[in-house]
Amino acid sequence: MSTKHLQGLIAAPFTPMNPDGSINTNLVPAYYNMLKANNVTGAFICGSTGEGVSITAAEKKQVMEAWAACSKNDAEFTVMPLLGGTSIKDCKELAVYAKSIGLDAISFTAPFYFKPADVNMLADACFEIASTVPDMPFYYYHIPVLTGVNFSMIDLLKAIDGKILNFAGIKYTHEDFMDFLSCTLYAKGKYDMLWGRDENMLPALAVGAKGAVGSTYNYAAPLYHNLIDAFNKGDLQKAQQLQEQSIDMIRLLGKYGGIATGKAYMKLIGVDCGEFRLPVKNMNAEQFILFKKDTERINFSSFCSLKPV
């Protein structure tokens, strides 16, 4: 199976929630249109940003259905769900479902409770899931800061090469540039390496990243388009300045409690995705006022994503 290498910005969408904490799939069409208007080339749904570990398998199917309905006639927009990382059986069922409704690819992350003992056991888990949909591109999601599974990805590629024919590549959310470069060059660039650390996009571009998956592309896509353009034109100073703007924006995530702050950024661009589920902490009304003032200090409105009118 030949697999195209994805390019450009792929957003990791937030899963929209109603005030009562239920899934709000009614927002997905507007969300999709917003990403398209900002030249985002795909959506990595039900991942970390999408609260994939906090929603049920049935709810994941609802989210998949909503995104599939929007993108079914859009060959230029890739939708890939994260199936999960603890129940292999659930992942296999969701993989078959993703295929049945016409999604473009699937992804799986390492089991993070009963962790694989070595990279070969991780490869076996990938094979178990990927083989259920052998003609669908399969991506491994490497995010050791959350899974606690930190094998070198070059070792995973060596373990699966020639054995998992639909293994397309890796969503690489880590800071090991040595490993990332080795994976990028492995087998003459056979595998699609998608960068997953928004605050480190510039050095990733320098070692060959062509596609990236990230949460901040939801609400600040123009910033990263300009960064990539500056890098491609050889204007390193401008690219550095734009990356620093990204870092200033991302520092506010930490200041106001972490991942849920992303939904506060979404409110600022007019796409209200509700709140995160427990145990993630959401900011209160007073904190939101302070957060909004901080976004004004970094001039967020000058580089934020634009909501279609």
CATH number at residue 225: 3.20.20.70
Distance CA 210, CA 7 (A): 5
Q: What is the C-alpha R_g of the chain?
A: 18
DSSP characters over 214-258: ESTHHHHHHHHHHHHHHHHTT-HHHHHHHHHHHHHHHHHHHHTTS
Q: Which amino acid is at 161?
A: D
Distance CA 50, CA 130 (A): 22
Q: What is the pLDDT of residues 190-236, one digit of tens each?
A: 999 999 999 999 999 999 999 999 999 999 999 999 999 999 999 99
What is the domain extent for residue 263? 8-302
Write down the pTM of the prediction: 0.96
Q: According to the 3-state scheme, what is the secondary structure of 51-108?
A: CCCCCCHHHHHHHHHHHHHHHCCCCCCEEEEECCCCCHHHHHHHHHHHHHCCCCCEEE
Question: What pLDDT, on a 0 to 100 scale, did the predictor assign at position 85?
Answer: 85
Distance CA 68, CA 79 (A): 7
C-beta separation of 55 from 15 below 8 A: yes
Question: What pLDDT, on a 0 to 100 scale, did the predictor assign at position 307?
Answer: 85
The Cβ of residue 95 has, within 10 Å, a number of other Cβ atoms equal to 24
C-beta separation of 205 from 228 below 8 A: yes
- In order of 13, 26, 30, 82, the CA distances from 22 in angstroms are 16, 12, 18, 19
Q: Which amino acid is at 259?
A: I
Note whether residue 292 is domain-resident. yes
Q: What is the pLDDT of residues 161-201, one digit of tens each?
A: 999 999 999 999 999 999 999 999 999 999 999 999 999 99
Note whether residue 163 is domain-resident. yes
Note whether residue 307 is domain-resident. no
- Token pair 């902490």 is found at 281
Closest among 14, 44, 52, 46 to 30, alpha carbons compared? 14
211 in helix, strand or coil?
strand
Distance CA 10, CA 7 (A): 8
Q: For the chain, how many structural domains are there in total?
A: 1
Question: What pLDDT, on a 0 to 100 scale, did the predictor assign at position 2?
Answer: 57
Residues catalogued as catalytic? 141, 171
- Phi and psi at residue 96, in whole multiples of 5°? -65, -40
Note whether residue 308 is domain-resident. no
> In b/e form, how buried is each residue of 217-248, taking b as 16+ CB within 10 angstroms?
bbbbbebbbbbbebbeeeeeeebeebbebbeb
What parts of the chain have a pLDDT lower than 50? none
Closest among 163, 75, 89 to 119, alpha carbons compared? 163
Question: What pLDDT, on a 0 to 100 scale, did the predictor assign at position 4?
Answer: 84
Note whether residue 309 is domain-resident. no
Note whether residue 2 is domain-resident. no
C-beta separation of 200 from 212 below 8 A: no
Note whether residue 192 is domain-resident. yes
